[in-house]
């Protein structure tokens, strides 16, 4: 996959996210996403929102459930427990599947409550 050549971008959104995840930070997120376009798949917006959330750019990922999850997890890791709690609670309202994502969010909320 060539940097700066969107024509060579992957057609799988999960692969795209893995290749750009290290650039999902406040400094590089906009540049990288313009160089390496997300593929046109149903998961596209979810992965774009997650990248923006990891970069702390919640304004660019409004209320997408994966953005809420990643923002909550990132805030928890930074020790910003009050903000993390808000994001994770909103995530659980938006995303109701009983899976690893909700399990992780609930576990993190329990850890916040134990503090």
Greater confidence (86 vs 46) lies with: 86
Do residues 19 and 35 lie in contact, with contact meaning Cβ atoms separated by under 8 Å? no
Domain region containing 86: 63-115
Q: Is residue 78 part of a domain?
A: yes
Number of domains in the chain: 2
**Per the domain annotation, does 3 fall within a domain?**
no
Q: Are residues 23 and 49 in the same domain?
A: yes
Alpha-carbon gap, residue 73 to 16, rounded angstroms: 21
Task: Give domain status of residue 1, yes or no.
Answer: no
Q: Are residues 68 and 52 in the same domain?
A: no
Q: At what angle do helices 100-113 and 65-77 cross, to 10 degrees?
A: 40
Beta carbons of 18 and 47 less than 8 angstroms apart: no
- What pTM, to 2 d.p., does this model score? 0.63
Same domain assignment for residues 69 and 110: yes
Let me know if residue 4 belongs to a domain: no
Q: What is the pLDDT of residues 20-77, one digit of tens each?
A: 889 889 889 888 877 888 878 777 888 888 888 888 887 787 878 888 898 899 889 9
Query: What pLDDT score was predicted for residue 3?
Result: 40
> Residue 89 — pLDDT band, cuts 50, 70, 90?
very high
Confidence of residue 7 (pLDDT cuts 50, 70, 90): very low
CA–CA distance from 42 to each of 46, 56, 84, 86, 115 (Å)? 8, 23, 27, 27, 38
Amino acid 10: pLDDT? 52
User: Residue 18 domain-assigned?
Assistant: yes
pLDDT band at residue 2 using 50, 70 and 90 as cut-offs: very low
Of the two residues 110 and 21, the one the predictor is more confident about is: 110
Structural domain contains residue 2: no
15 and 42 fall within a common domain: yes
Given a cut of 50, whether residue 6 has pLDDT beyond it is: no
């Amino acid at each position: 996959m060539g940097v700066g050549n969107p024509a060579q971008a992957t057609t799988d959104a999960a692969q795209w996210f893995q290749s750009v995840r290290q650039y999902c930070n406040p400094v590089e997120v906009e540049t990288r996403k313009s160089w390496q376009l997300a593929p046109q798949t149903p998961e596209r917006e979810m992965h774009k929102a997650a990248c923006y959330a990891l970069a702390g750019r919640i304004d660019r990922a409004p209320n997408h459930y994966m953005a809420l999850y990643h923002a909550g997890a990132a805030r928890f890791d930074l020790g910003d427990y009050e903000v993390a709690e808000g994001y994770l609670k909103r995530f659980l309202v938006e995303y109701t599947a009983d899976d690893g994502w909700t399990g992780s969010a609930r576990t993190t909320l329990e850890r916040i409550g134990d503090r």
